[in-house]
Structure 1
Amino acid sequence: MTKYELTLAGRLTFRLISLVTILFLLGGGVQAKSNLKVSRITFEGNKQISEKELLSILKSQKNKEFNPRFIKLDEILIRNYYQLHGFLDVQVRGTFTRNGNDINITYQINEGRRYYLKEIRFTGNELLSEEQLRKSIHLDDNAVFEQQKIDEGLNTIENYYLNHGKPYVFFNQNKVITDDSLITLNIFIQEGVTVRIAEIVFIGVEQVKRFLLFREMEIKEGDLYSREKIEISQKNLYATGLFKAVNYGVVPLPNDPSRVKLVWNLVEKKPIWMGVRFGVSYENGEYTGNVTTFDVTLEGGHRNLFGTARSISFHVVPSFYFGKTVNESRRKFSNPRNEYSLTYIEPRIFGTRTPGIFNISTSRESPPITREEIKILSTSFQVNHKFQNAWSYTGLLSFQKVSTPSDSILNVVSQGRDLIYALSLNPVKDKRDNILVPQHGYLMEFRNRFVYSESPAREDGKRITIHNTFYKFIVQWARYQPFTFKRKWTLASRLRFGGIIEVDGRNPIQKIPITERFYLGGASTIRGYQEQAIGGRDSQDLPLGGKYVLLMNAELRIPLIWILMGELFVDSGNLWQEFSDISHFSLKVSSGLGLAILTPFGPIRFDYGVKWFPETVDGKRESRDEFHIGISFAF
């Protein structure tokens, strides 16, 4: 083993031992709180429900710290579980004994009789037939009696009444037991009068035009009372961004309970505003390899031009980055971007609740956000519509001028003064339970971008213009689910594939604008590699990027203590210049572990990744590992 390899192995071993030790100590911190452990949990009297089933619902766990308060909670959990399975008269009593630091817990259960549903009878119903009502309760006759399913069915029935003009509906249940274990459930429905909205009144409005308020109403004067439509109207008013508070009340008209006044109490926001925000920006990985920056936003504007909810705003955003850049071997703070933008928002396009956003901005960007220092002038018009089924559709028409500080770059690459015209269509389905710390659900994205670009270059000492038309696509799927063997852990996975298809035939990668290429490597794509390090380098020793990208990630997220979470991950992927190159299929693979601190603005990550197959390029061996710091999870 060479001296270099010994040094590398020593550094790798030290980093791994240090990070594993930290995770071990943090993971073991909870258990240091108490010496009392639950040694054994036993059940007495359970005949119809197995011990395995009961253990799975308890708060108390074997070989875990003993908490006497959990015994009362477990009694309730066991009682509820039995009652869900038809044992309505069950009795549970929990006790414990101590032997040194070992605690033995015993739950004595008197199961009682198991009850079954004989039939359900409805009286007082006029709006819905008995057959319609019965279909709403998903519990068959002669099945084990489950009060939870009864309540769920009644909630469904109540919602129907409340959304069809019956705000005063009332239900009463009565159980009649026959043959010792058969229950006949009698449900009496007092429907009340049918109610219509006679008048809609707004209180507290000074700046906003009245037509705008009525435009946001899903429910209209003369409509049947509908709680669902009223709540949608409330949501629409909040979505305008004009109000601090939106509350409503229903007032019956004197001597006529069938007609009500819908009264909205609104608190307006000040139309002119200024502010400072601190946050993070997660750069889209399709261009930059997913770079996280710390942002300071100085902003101001008018949110209610002419009282019509149209808005205009100005933003100044300096961004800061800590880590390695393309040409730096050490981590340091840098200011890779300063952006100035003006935004105008038209709240409704084509008469629908689809905002149109016009933006003009200028920015200076440098590594690691881009592969070299550039200036960008952009104008765009964007429309975005969200549907209730978690789908959203974004359309974007944009123009972008990308320039470098000096014409000298034209001698070595074909970029330097790019003009980029693009049309983007991006359907997204987001079913994640939480954007910052997802534990359930998935994110599905189909990004489509049609691009025409003009790039000046030099050929045989002459200045020429390169024209290129191409279609760029990205398909991405990310899933979040409980880990099979430890349900409190989260297994996160991601698959991304993207490509650039040129209309005029294949061209060298240098003829694709640098802002449109794919890049890989770094804290949020393939850890263990430096930012944008995958895919080769050009004659200026800058990342070359690629036309096709494949990225696969799997990560296990483990709650440790308080706001700390551990990570175990495997990342893989690669870049290719042409589609035919994929036939020589090979992947860059890394794995590692990390620690995340959960904060209100997202997790702060400290990740350590190790390459599986480090390579030697031009006689220089790749570093075997990399340490990363990032804001938000990798995906």
Structure 2
Amino acid sequence: MRFWALAGLIIALFIPAARAADQGLDSATMKVSKLVIAGNKAFSSSKIKGIGLRLAPSLFHAPVFTMADLRRDTVLIGQFYESNGFMKVRIMADTALLNPRRHRIKVSVTINEGPRTTISGVRIQGVPSADQAGLLALASALPGAPLRVQDLINDAQAFTNWLGDRGRLEAVVNYHYDFFPDSLSASVTYEIQAGPVIRTASVAVMGLKRVHERVVTQCVDFQKDEVVTRIKLREAIDNLYSINLFSFVMVSFDSLLSPVTGDSSSRVIRVRVFERKYFSGVLGAGYQTYEQMRGRAELSYGNFIGLGIRGYAIGYANMINQGAELGGTVPRIQGTPLDFNSKIGYRHQNEPRIQMAGTYRKLDNSVTYHFSQQLRASLIHRLETSRLSVVPPVLPANIGAPFTHSMAIEATRDTRDDLFDPHHGSFMDFTTTFSGLTGKASNHFIKIEGDGRVYLPLGKSVVLASGIYGGIAMPYSPSRAVPVPERFYLGGSKVMRGFGDKQAGPDSSGTPTGGTLYLASNVLEVRYPIYKWIWGDVFFDAGNLWDVQSSAVPAFIKEVSKLNLLYNAGFGLRVHISVVIVSLDVGFRLNDGAGSSKNPAFHFMVGNSF
């Protein structure tokens, strides 16, 4: 009896499997729940699955099985190995039913990698020997290194760029390699058609309607008979985009000889632009835990008198601050990378948490020099008046004059790939302010602040982010203290997220008093995808704020050297909705300052924390 029961069970399991085999593992019903890769030593299974295999399942998706996809994936794995120097790789694939009732199968791929091919020699043909030495210094594919096709592609592009930087913009670089099976080596050859050194015959501008041509020619700045390089073309395009007058820019040169000179190397530089709409109106709204609802409206016109001069009016409001600004920008003065900016502003502040309220008026004039698209420096002249209606009771009533006359120097370097959701790059900003330019009528203080952030991709999705911030404010005679509005506060959605906004550092009976010295860091934040447009993050912050009542530098150094830091950690969610990021962070204090609460801090906002 047991024998027949066992036989019946075997037949019951065999019949669905046989039907699936007869149907060729029908793609309408069979799904891959498991993909096993074996025999791989040079590359991890996750690396191989990440090259674009169609039959690789994920946590939320089981792909439909077809024999065509199986053949495609095995060919793709073979090509991947061959492109990395494994010329004798062998791939075998097999399938097995895992759950006949649910129509689930397992795909097994066995890889026999074989030996790896190395490069025995590299040759460059078509350029002088002096240029060959410069090109070889850029090469990744060198004798003794493993043969990787991607290295050859990268080298060809690097050679093209190197030649383009020297005016040979029509250079063509091809490569091939000869494989020697007996020695498992390959000889690589780069064949270069360098072409002529391109020079400027003239500049032709097309597409202008309301912008003066000299605005474009100042940005492009090609002189007659000047060598046209790849870098020069890139700078011309960047300069044209930087003045915010054009929605599309294209800079090219004739591929034929110049009709002006008849010289094969002398070409007409053609600049084609499409002007943007110069009048714009923008309305924005958001929410942040401390400021709560906030809104912003802006009207601007970007091309006064046809020279790209921009004027704007801005109004903003939240539960803490309400204000307005009027300003203008003159871009690229006399064709130089120098901008002039001017603005006047009014702000009303009512901040119960720090028991301070008042009104502020300011006039800013600045010039900004753009060393490159990523690096700029500004010189800022500021006049500001303040009228405080509520002063924190724990601070002296005569802590500052109502007038501040200052000059500031600011340097900024920004290489982030995205301003709102960076995955790699860095941001650095350093500002030094000297106040007291109008004698005793002005507050006298020196204020220095720094902001540095770095973003590193880990694989294709995970991002490591870190930031460090610091500031110091010192009065000097005749002022006895730093003005109340110039004091630092710490804590909130950007850094020290275990605290509410402005709640890290000195306080009096629960009221933050601010300070004159701070050091804080987003020591490490890990951002990772959870599901499609939902991301998560975990973070660790450290820092503190001190109130040093001194104008002597050693007093500040002494305070920082104590390393009396506050630590906090937490986690959060990021929801990516179109171009908007909605964030929620929860921070926990790992150690506490005097009188601080151990309750977690919640920070809800639109945008990333930093």
TM range (shorter): 0.7 to 0.9
In 2, the alpha carbon distance for the partners of 1:170 and 1:591 equals 53
* 1:216 paired residue among 195, 219, 240: 219
Paired letter, 1:294: R
Task: Please state whether the residue corresponding to 1:316 is helix, strand or coil.
Answer: strand
| Residue 472 (structure 1) aligned with residue 447 (structure 2) | yes
In 1, the alpha carbon distance for the partners of 2:412 and 2:506 equals 32
In 1, the alpha carbon distance for the partners of 2:114 and 2:340 equals 64
What residue number does 1:363 align with?
347
Aligned-residue offset at 1:350? 8.1
Instruction: Structure 1: state its 5+ residue gaps.
Output: 1-33, 283-288, 321-333, 456-464
What residue number does 2:470 align with?
497
What residue number does 2:98 align with?
99
What residue number does 1:546 align with?
515
Distance 1:444 1:61, change over 3 A: farther
What residue number does 2:48 align with?
57
Paired letter, 1:223: E
Deviations 1:447-494 (A, max 9, x none): 322223999xxxxxxxxx8964222222343333356xx974434333
Distance 1:244 1:414, change over 3 A: same
List aligned pairs for 1:534-613, cutoff 5 A.
534-537=504-507, 543-553=512-522, 554-578=524-548, 579=556, 586-612=564-590
Please tell me the root mean square deviation across aligned C-alpha atoms, in Å: 4.0
In 2, the alpha carbon distance for the partners of 1:592 and 1:134 equals 49
* 2:266 paired residue among 245, 259, 262: 259
| Residue 42 (structure 1) aligned with residue 37 (structure 2) | yes
Paired letter, 1:493: S
Task: Please state whether the residue corresponding to 1:86 is helix, strand or coil.
Answer: coil
Task: Please state whether the residue corresponding to 2:237 is helix, strand or coil.
Answer: helix
What residue number does 2:418 align with?
434
In 1, the alpha carbon distance for the partners of 2:463 and 2:394 equals 49
In 2, the alpha carbon distance for the partners of 1:158 and 1:515 equals 55
| Residue 203 (structure 1) aligned with residue 179 (structure 2) | no
Distance 1:382 1:146, change over 3 A: same
Aligned-residue offset at 1:443? 3.0
Task: Please state whether the residue corresponding to 1:207 is helix, strand or coil.
Answer: coil
In 2, the alpha carbon distance for the partners of 1:261 and 1:146 equals 40
Aligned-residue offset at 1:417? 6.0
Deviations 1:289-331 (A, max 9, x none): 9968633213133x233322233x23131223xxxxxxxxxxx
What residue number does 1:9 align with?
none
Task: Please state whether the residue corresponding to 2:494 is helix, strand or coil.
Answer: coil
TM-score when normalising by structure 1: 0.75
Distance 1:498 1:208, change over 3 A: same
Aligned-residue offset at 1:84? 3.9
Deviations 1:498-538 (A, max 9, x none): 2222333994xxx4222210112333333343322334456
Deviations 1:61-94 (A, max 9, x none): 7988543588678546633442243224645454
Distance 1:468 1:629, change over 3 A: same
In 1, the alpha carbon distance for the partners of 2:575 and 2:566 equals 28
In 1, the alpha carbon distance for the partners of 2:499 and 2:125 equals 70
List aligned pairs for 1:297-336, cutoff 5 A.
297-301=297-301, 303-311=302-310, 313-320=311-318, 334=319, 336=320
- Contact kept? 1:36, 1:65, Cα under 8 Å: no
- Number of residue equivalences: 557
Paired letter, 2:493: A
Paired letter, 2:272: N
Distance 1:602 1:129, change over 3 A: same
Paired letter, 1:629: F
| Residue 634 (structure 1) aligned with residue 609 (structure 2) | yes
Task: Please state whether the residue corresponding to 1:82 is helix, strand or coil.
Answer: helix
Task: Please state whether the residue corresponding to 1:515 is helix, strand or coil.
Answer: helix
In 1, the alpha carbon distance for the partners of 2:37 and 2:277 equals 63
In 1, the alpha carbon distance for the partners of 2:206 and 2:263 equals 23
Task: Please state whether the residue corresponding to 1:300 is helix, strand or coil.
Answer: strand
List aligned pairs for 1:611-630, cutoff 5 A.
611-612=589-590, 617=595, 622=597, 624-630=599-605
* 1:228 paired residue among 228, 231, 252: 231
Greater CA deviation, 577-586 or 546-555? 577-586
- Contact kept? 1:445, 1:476, Cα under 8 Å: yes
- Contact kept? 2:327, 2:344, Cα under 8 Å: yes
Deviations 1:235-283 (A, max 9, x none): 2112121222222443323565433222222222355x2412315699x
Paired letter, 2:533: I
Deviations 1:563-617 (A, max 9, x none): 2222333334332211355577644444333322224554222233344456785
Distance 1:128 1:209, change over 3 A: farther
In 2, the alpha carbon distance for the partners of 1:525 and 1:318 equals 24
In 2, the alpha carbon distance for the partners of 1:412 and 1:574 equals 23
Task: Please state whether the residue corresponding to 1:317 is helix, strand or coil.
Answer: strand
In 1, the alpha carbon distance for the partners of 2:79 and 2:512 equals 61
What residue number does 1:324 align with?
none
What residue number does 1:242 align with?
245
Distance 1:262 1:512, change over 3 A: same
Distance 1:401 1:468, change over 3 A: closer
- Contact kept? 2:444, 2:475, Cα under 8 Å: yes
In 2, the alpha carbon distance for the partners of 1:556 and 1:170 equals 42
Larger relative contact order, structure 1 or 2 (CA cutoff 8 Å, min sep 6): 1
Aligned-residue offset at 1:186? 4.2
In 2, the alpha carbon distance for the partners of 1:116 and 1:497 equals 50
Distance 1:411 1:99, change over 3 A: closer
What residue number does 2:282 align with?
276
Task: Please state whether the residue corresponding to 1:551 is helix, strand or coil.
Answer: strand
- Contact kept? 2:528, 2:536, Cα under 8 Å: yes
In 2, the alpha carbon distance for the partners of 1:223 and 1:216 equals 15
Deviations 1:139-161 (A, max 9, x none): 33354333322222222222233
Aligned-residue offset at 1:379? 0.7
Deviations 1:379-415 (A, max 9, x none): 1122333444844323322111111348999997226
* 2:493 paired residue among 523, 527, 535: 523
Distance 1:537 1:615, change over 3 A: closer
In 1, the alpha carbon distance for the partners of 2:31 and 2:352 equals 52
Task: Please state whether the residue corresponding to 2:222 is helix, strand or coil.
Answer: coil
Task: Please state whether the residue corresponding to 1:603 is helix, strand or coil.
Answer: strand
Aligned-residue offset at 1:360? 1.3
Paired letter, 1:475: G
Distance 1:231 1:36, change over 3 A: same
Paired letter, 2:49: L
Aligned-residue offset at 1:548? 1.4
What residue number does 2:142 align with?
140
- Contact kept? 2:357, 2:390, Cα under 8 Å: no
Distance 1:196 1:406, change over 3 A: closer
Task: Please state whether the residue corresponding to 1:373 is helix, strand or coil.
Answer: strand
- Contact kept? 2:394, 2:513, Cα under 8 Å: no
Distance 1:61 1:393, change over 3 A: farther
Greater CA deviation, 187-196 or 67-76? 67-76
- Contact kept? 1:418, 1:454, Cα under 8 Å: no
In 1, the alpha carbon distance for the partners of 2:455 and 2:584 equals 21
In 1, the alpha carbon distance for the partners of 2:159 and 2:42 equals 37
Instruction: Structure 2: state its 5+ residue gaps.
Output: 1-28, 51-55, 549-555
In 2, the alpha carbon distance for the partners of 1:406 and 1:498 equals 25
| Residue 399 (structure 1) aligned with residue 386 (structure 2) | no
- Contact kept? 1:565, 1:595, Cα under 8 Å: yes
What residue number does 1:328 align with?
none
